[in-house]
A and B are shown apart, each in its own frame.
Chain A
Amino acid sequence: YAWDANEEYLFKAMMAFAMRKYSRKSTTQISNVLLCNMTDRVSFWFVVTDSSKNVTTVPGSEVEAAIRMNRHRINNAFLLSDKTLQFLKITSTLSPPVEPSTPVWLIVFGGVLCLVVAGIIFLVVTGIRRHKKKNKESTERENLEEKGEVTVTVENGIPCEALDLKAGHINGVFAADDERFTSL
């Protein structure tokens, strides 16, 4: 927005408002605030006079304190911030950065660690199970061979599984010959 006489009026009003809130007497009027040396940059000097004390100016320190107390309101009236509306010799107090109660990084760290530990436990457990199964299989095989209780039936010294049982009972030569005989 452009800086014109209306904005100046608003500024005077804000200064009067600040002085009233600070000193808690309702005597400061808009006419008490005087602006001078207005430049294109939009920078100027201003003084606040005290009408009750015979047109003397209010000490700078009081004005400074008043502005410091109401800085937020003044900024908002002009839609500006501490950086864009600068009062020379009045430095703004810095607000501390927001700190959550538990640092965020600890939460993330906890999540990551839980996942990793769960993965490790899963892999270790499957590894142990695999190891046990392998051990059980190898001990079973060892036991069978040791005790000689081989449950493999033997026919003529040849284990049955090696033979094709069907081939022993059904003679392929004769079975196929059925077709040579003429049917009755």
Chain B
Amino acid sequence: PKEDGRPKWDNKFQYILSCIGFAVGLGNVWRFPYLCQIHGGGAFLIPYFIALLFEGIPLLHLELALGQCLRKGSIGAWNTISPYLGGVGAGSWMVSVLVSLYYNTVLTWVMWYFINSFQEPLPWSVCPLNENRTGLNTECYESTAVNYFWYRKTLNITPDVTESGTLQWWLILCLAACWAIVYLCTIRGIETTGKAIYVTAIFPYLVLTVFLIQGLTLPGASDGLAYLFTPDLSTLKNPRVWLDAATQIFFSLSLGFGGLIAFSSYNPPKNDCEKDAVTVAIVNSMTSIYASIPVFSVLGFKATTGYWDCLDRNIISIINEFDLPEESIMRQNYTAWISFLNSSYPEKIAGLKLKSCDLQEFLDQSVSGTGLAFIIFTQAIILMPGSQAWAILFFIMLFSLGLSSMFGNIEGVFTPLLELQIISESIPKELLSGIICLICFLIALCFTLGSGSYWIDIFDRYAGSLPLLVIAFSEVVGVVYVYKIKRFSKDVKQMTGRKPNLYWQITWRFISPLLLLIVFVAFVTLQIQKSPSYAAWNPKYEGFPMKEEKVYPPWVLAICVLLAVLPCVFVPLVALFQLIKQMCRSKKPSCVPPEVFSCQGTN
């Protein structure tokens, strides 16, 4: 259904689901639980909710209100607010493009694991044999089968970021399939994503619930959960914790991409964007917490199984050494036996070289990001009964989570392009989205090289972090001080029916810009302090299977800086350009002042 030529959401629920799907992504599953764990468990929730209240919700409301009022994508919207702020829209668009490129490659990995989950036994559970069949493949034997499958069979990773390696044909196939799926769902803009979002946004919650029930029944789950949630309030003294909370909230809500502006621009003007913003933000945070429960049950289960394996191996060697009858030493009386044997035969025990088994040590092995999903979780899935089903469910869930976020990214790219005059009206939407998907697919082929995952880390760290902070800061400052907060409050009142109350006024005017500035400065300082390095998987390294710490060569560093600076540089450049144009125009007497725009003018 179209009104004044602009497509519309079928119903309000579709719109809310799309925003939630965009905000809820892979980070909710594999970054939030990790942060909770390393920053003192339940205590992390305090800085997290403070950041949500003073940074997340105000910025979200701002973006949604903006899109709804101006009814244009990010570039058009910012050009309308003020020609000097057009750079903010361009920066948003650039970031959406960069993130879409690498985000879909992560989904490619998920798809690869998904289609490999139909095998019995799971391919990451056994090591392949070496050439002469006398033993297991060395690389696999020294690390683990799961590591081998991830680094060798999936990524075929090179030992260094400068060695590009070859294109991995299996990844190219999966990448093509992923982009085909994205094209299928975004082919007509929100008309098709609106239908697809019902599945991709709701399905992950179902799977999370199933995993929750399964996870809680696993042995060792309670240890994992206790480890996660026991609050350690002393960590709050560390400013790093507050910084991580602020950045996590910010990136988790997908602010600054222009996707939210695009989504809300398809709304009818009289829509309560204030309630929408609060709803989306709270659902996003609740999902993070809800997702960390099954994640930590499974991690606790994995730690416990590792601990039991360690104990069992020690028990076997002791029984063999002392010729004791089978089942004389069990896990329960292991410590008693060890102390007894140590006192009576210390040399023999020392000669056995027993590994010390400590459950805490196993629980402490915390990983975030792809390591959590593709190494740790897959290892835990092998240990569960009926592993194929769990693997399939898990990877479909990850795929849906990532796909709904991709919709927002692509919408952030697609909607502004539709409004530019360069793209003529005669090009059908299907063709435009097809061209976008094809170009992105071709560029993303670089990520299927041997060194692809190193490059994705670079993109994630530099393109998907710093520019967003700059753009969000410019957004708040632009709306509050250039567009003027009084005008904006009037526009919001017209849309929602009530004037934004004191909370919004204070956060928009002072708290959010200040917070963003502090986060930005702290972020940059931290990045500059440590020289940028990365962990490489090198089978020839002495400390293998530990990863080798390497430093980026200068040309890679230049690319990192370029990625971080390119979207940001649009903001001052466009402002400068407009200023020069204005000065030239003011010299000519026959100039028409630019028309003053306001939300009330649309109706």
Contact = CB atoms under 8 A, between A and B. Distances in A.
A104 B133 CA distance: 23
B357 to A, nearest CB: 21
B458 interface: no
Contacts of A96: 129, 133
Nearest to A127: B430
A119 B319 CA distance: 62
Interface in A28-48: 39-43
B393 to A, nearest CB: 15
A154 interface: no
Contacts of B181: 116
Given A120-B184, A127-B428, A127-B430, A105 B116 contact: yes
Contact of B323 (A39, A108, A117): A39
Contacts of A41: 319-320, 323-326
A144 interface: no
Nearest to B328: A40
A120 B253 CA distance: 30
Contacts of A133: none
B188 interface: yes
Contacts of A109: 115, 173-174, 177
Interface string B236-273: 00000000000000000000000000000000000000
Which of A42, A119, A131 lies at the interface centre, i.e. has the most chain B CB atoms within 10 A of its CB? A119
Contacts of B323: 39-41, 43
A101 to B, nearest CB: 13
A152 interface: no
B126 A120 contact: no
A94 B184 contact: no
A105 B319 contact: no
Interface in A84-124: 93-94, 96-97, 104-105, 108-109, 112-113, 116-117, 119-120, 123-124
B118 interface: yes
Nearest to A131: B428
A119 B119 CA distance: 27
Contacts of B319: 41
B136 interface: yes
A93 B133 contact: yes
A131 B188 CA distance: 13
A108 B188 CA distance: 27
A94 B133 contact: yes
Contact of A105 (B115, B129, B180): B115
A112 B136 CA distance: 33
B180 A127 contact: no
A93 B177 CA distance: 41
Contacts of B459: none
Contacts of A97: 121, 126, 128-129
Given A41-B324, A42-B326, A104 B118 contact: yes
Contacts of B320: 41, 43
A108 B323 CA distance: 51
Contacts of B112: 105
A112 B115 contact: yes
B497 interface: no
Given A39-B323, A40-B323, A97-B128, A123 B135 contact: no
Interface size class of B (residues with CB under 8 A): 20 to 34
B133 A40 contact: no
B170 to A, nearest CB: 8
B335 interface: no
Given A41-B324, A43-B323, A108 B115 contact: yes
A97 B153 CA distance: 16
Contacts of B324: 40-41
Given A112-B115, A113-B180, A117-B180, A94 B129 contact: yes
Contact of B325 (A40, A104, A124): A40
Contact of A123 (B118, B121, B184): B184
Contacts of A105: 112, 115-116, 118-119
A108 B177 contact: no
B188 A104 contact: no
B183 interface: yes
Contact of A119 (B115, B121, B134, B184): B184
Interface in A9-55: 39-43
A94 B118 contact: no
A133 to B, nearest CB: 13
Contact of A124 (B128, B177, B430): B430
B184 A104 contact: no
A39 to B, nearest CB: 4
B192 interface: yes
Interface in A121-149: 123-124, 127, 131
Contacts of B135: 94
B187 interface: yes
Contacts of A93: 133-134
B326 A112 contact: no
Interface string B388-419: 00000000000000000000000000000000
A94 B136 CA distance: 9
Interface string B166-180: 000000011011001
Which of A40, A96, A108, A131 lies at the interface centre, i.e. has the most chain B CB atoms within 10 A of its CB? A108
Contacts of A40: 323-325
Contacts of B126: 97
A41 B327 CA distance: 10
A113 B112 CA distance: 13
Interface of B: 111-112, 115-116, 118-119, 121, 126, 128-129, 133-136, 173-174, 176-177, 180-181, 183-184, 187-188, 192, 319-320, 323-326, 428-430
Q: Which 6 A-B pairs have the closest CB atoms?
A: A40-B325, A108-B115, A39-B323, A105-B115, A41-B323, A116-B180
11 contacts: A40-B323, A41-B319, A94-B133, A96-B129, A96-B133, A104-B119, A113-B177, A113-B180, A123-B187, A124-B187, A124-B430
Given A96-B133, A116-B180, 10 more contacts: A40-B324, A41-B319, A41-B324, A41-B326, A94-B129, A94-B133, A105-B115, A123-B188, A123-B430, A127-B428
